[in-house]
Each structure stands twice: as C-alpha cells, then as structure tokens.
Structure 1
C-alpha cells in the first residue's frame, strides 16, 4: 500500500479535529439510492462473496476503493458513497459534532443510514450477482461505525465486518439482535493507539462489550493515528481470505 493511499484515507477524517459541526447540503437521506463503484472478482464464480466498502466522514467512494486491486480475488467489491453531502467530493453517513470533545451524533441520520445500508444490500441483488450468505462490510472511521450498526442489528444480512478506526454507537445497543442471531457473525477490529479523532479506547470498549455477547472479534492495535497503514491492510486482507467460504 502506498503512502498516497494512506494519506488519502486519513485526510477526509482528520478535518473533524478542527470542524465541530457540518452544514450538509443534503440533510434528508430517505429514499436516496446510494452511488457506488464496483470491482468484479478476479476469480470468476457464479455467486461470488460480496465486500462492501464504507468510507469515513468527509471522504467518498473512491477512498477505500483505491485498495480494490489488492483485495482478495474471489470478492466482488462494492464501494458505497455516503448519502449526506459535506462538500465537493466529500460525503458522510451522518452528522457529528465534536465541540464537546466527544462525538455527538445526529441520531436520526445515523438510523436512516443504517436502514439505507440494509436496503442497499437487498437492492444490489437486482444489479449484481453475489452469494447472500457471504456478505462482508469493511469500513473506516464512520464507515466502521456503520459496519457495526448494520451487522449487529441485521446479522442475517452480513457474515462479517472489518472495523478500522471506528466505534460502536451506544444508540445501537438497544437495537441489537439477540445472541443466537449474532452467533455466526465474524468481526475484525483494528485501531491506532495514537488515534486523535476516535480514541483507541473506543476499540477496546467495543471489544469488551462484544465479548459479553459471546462474540470473539479478532483485534489488532497499531502504533498509528487515524489512518490505515500497510500492516493494517495486510491484516484485514488475511482475515478476509481466511473467512470466506471458498
């Protein structure tokens, strides 16, 4: 992974340090079809596993898609654009305010985005072929938040999630599926110990909470900030290759 790719993912989110609230040009995300990019699998099968990439706040569908050529060959890879517009080529899943020193979310937007992503998985079935039992979400920062939110409330839709530099919203816990429905969910968590946007403690808290639900996430910490470096990418790639049913 090049330094350019690492910086590209980081820059869209580090803006949060200095901006406390966003004036979105699109505040209503209901009935909005998500724009996406697609990489067809390099190894052709009738119903390939699906990997959906979810960018962070201030980013776009191009960010994580820059990694697509190096993601596992069996996957059809889809990179989705968040429904809220922050600026030119800058999007988000929900509005967040850092003025108190801790992230305060727009709960309705976050809930709308959660439902939209669940519908998005179903809608993709009408456009591309994939194995409905082999759907994975891979999200960075706010995209990682959305990965938790979708998978923990609708585990029948998702086999596994890779959460990079994200957090588990407290608002999602009351909506979570029961342990029986969650029992087969695969979870990968990675986080930088020097993360100044979403503190490393968020990852530890999520890990400990998920263990109480009899889930066993694979957890990785790095001496990094709010970014994805080569080691993080290599680790998530190995996890994806290990867990797909091929």
Structure 2
C-alpha cells in the first residue's frame, strides 16, 4: 500500500512541480512562433501559429518537472494512449527560399509549430515543415508511447518511425521539396525519434540537430551512417537526459556518422544559446557544402 500511496503522491504533485520550476524566459524562448509573424522572410501565414495552451507545451520530457531523480522511473505501468490516424503538419515557405527545408519535431507536450521560432532564427530563408506526433499519453502529445521517463515502447518506436518516414517521403514529394537537402531539428522526444529513424532507415536523414536527446532503441541496427552529420546539444543541468547523451553520440559514431557534440550551461529547456550553436553549425555546414560544389 505504501508503494501505491507514493505513486499517488507523485502524480498529484505534478501540477505544483510544473508551476514552480519553469523559467518564464526560457519558456518564451521555446514557445511556438512568439514573434515569427514577420521575422525574416516567413510568409504572413505564420501569424496563424498559436502560443502553448499550458506550460507543458514548453517542456520536453518529464524531468523538467523537478521531481526527485529516479522517481518517475518507478511508475512502470504503461499509461493509456490514444493515436490519431494522420500526422498534423504546418508548412511555411519563405519569400526568397534557399532550397533547404527544416523538418521540425517537437518535444513531449508540443505540436507542429513548437520549433518555428527557433528554426526561423537559425535559417530565415529555409522552408519550415513542422510535424506533430500521433500519440497522446495522459493528455501529453508524443511521438511514441513511453513506459517511464527513460524507457519507451520498442514496438511503438519502430511503428511510428516507419509511419512518419512514409508520410514524410510522400509529403515532401507532393510539395516538391528536396529531402536530400533537408535538415531535421528535433527537441527531446522528437530528437529521440530522429536518431531512431536514422538507425532504422539510414538513407533518410543526412543532417540533423538533436537537442536534449538520448538513445531509445534497445537493439540499434548495424547500419552505415557515413553520409550523415549530427549536432547533439545536451544541457549540463539536464539531470535525466544529459547522462545519456554520450551513449547516443557513441552509438552514431560507431556507425560512421559525423557527430559534433556540445554541452551547454542549460537544463532541459531550450534558450538563446541553443539558437547560437545551431546557427553556427548550420552556417559551417553550408560553407563546406558550397566549397564542395565549387570544386566539382
């Protein structure tokens, strides 16, 4: 009985933890489209973006709630989920497109617009393609079902990765967008799916930014990722995800990927330093690509 009382106490404490542990500045930094309306060359359709309906939309995985370390891991009973049939998405084209597309995958509790502000800051001339996960678990939108904060349904990861890859290929072709020139940007739960997709379908993802990510596949396939480049950005104060970051980086490097890794003075939430490091990484990659085209 004591065990069940502890679980009930933890669950009832979640709203209090959410309200008391969010930095308002960082929450604004990751809110969808807070000032995107006329930023750069993004079309007026961006004004349709909405702010999060609650603080959870600015969060990634649950450790931002401030519970004692390891507490959420004890909630090992799978939570009920609902799943929609189609992926919701939002496509924003700039007035002067660069030819690149930013494919944006939100963290837990976000939606298809959650990374628009960050993406428009780091790549103002790119087409923004934000997609929302199909799974909702206890009212929180996710990319796949979770068991605990760091343990995930392995079958569901593979099922959703395949469904998203199929959707993405069809939608990119229909919109006449070049998947080979796309950059994937994922935050937390969305970044985890990107890494899993790269391992499950090695020809799909060539460049990706993984913000606050961890490895989620128990048996990662032995694939060739020599054509893929990743930027992994961990938060030094991120108590749950940061300890797993080196394992993900090693996993990708072992399969031949070019991996740049950074740990910044931050927690799980995103902020201005993330914008800076992602922007610099993308600029450096574009310069290398331009030199390569000139030499051909």
In structure 2, what is the equivalent of residue 24 of structure 1?
81
Unaligned runs of 5+ in 2: 1-24, 32-56, 291-296
* 1:194 paired to 2:244: no
* 1:97 paired to 2:156: no
> Higher helix proportion, which one?
2
1:1-246 matches, within 5 Å, as 3-6=26-29, 8=31, 10-11=58-59, 13-14=61-62, 20=75, 21-26=78-83, 32-44=85-97, 48-86=99-137, 90-98=140-148, 103-171=150-218, 173-174=220-221, 176-177=222-223, 179=224, 182-198=225-241, 200-244=242-286, 245=289
Q: Name the TM-score, length of structure 2 as normaliser.
A: 0.69
Q: Answer whether contact 2:79 2:138 (CA < 8 A) is retained.
A: no
1:50-81, Cα deviation, whole Å (9 max, x unpaired): 21111112222222123343231332111100
Change (3 A) 1:159 1:103: same
Measure the CA separation in 1 of the matches of 2:97 and 2:109: 34
Aligned CA-pair RMSD: 2.5
State the Cα distance separating 1:195 from its structure 2 match.
Answer: 0.7
Change (3 A) 1:206 1:3: closer
Measure the CA separation in 1 of the matches of 2:153 and 2:205: 25
Measure the CA separation in 2 of the matches of 1:130 and 1:172: 32
Measure the CA separation in 1 of the matches of 2:219 and 2:209: 17
State the Cα distance separating 1:212 from its structure 2 match.
Answer: 2.5
Change (3 A) 1:164 1:241: same
The residue matched to 2:274 in structure 1 has which SS?
helix
1:182-228, Cα deviation, whole Å (9 max, x unpaired): 11101000011111332x12111122233323333111101211111
Greater relative contact order (Cα 8 A, min sep 6): structure 1 or 2? 1
Count of aligned residue pairs for this structure pair? 230
Measure the CA separation in 2 of the matches of 1:195 and 1:70: 24
State the Cα distance separating 1:10 from its structure 2 match.
Answer: 4.1
Change (3 A) 1:86 1:65: farther
Segments of 4+ moved more than 6 angstroms: none
Unaligned runs of 5+ in 1: none
Change (3 A) 1:210 1:11: closer
Q: Name the TM-score, length of structure 1 as normaliser.
A: 0.82
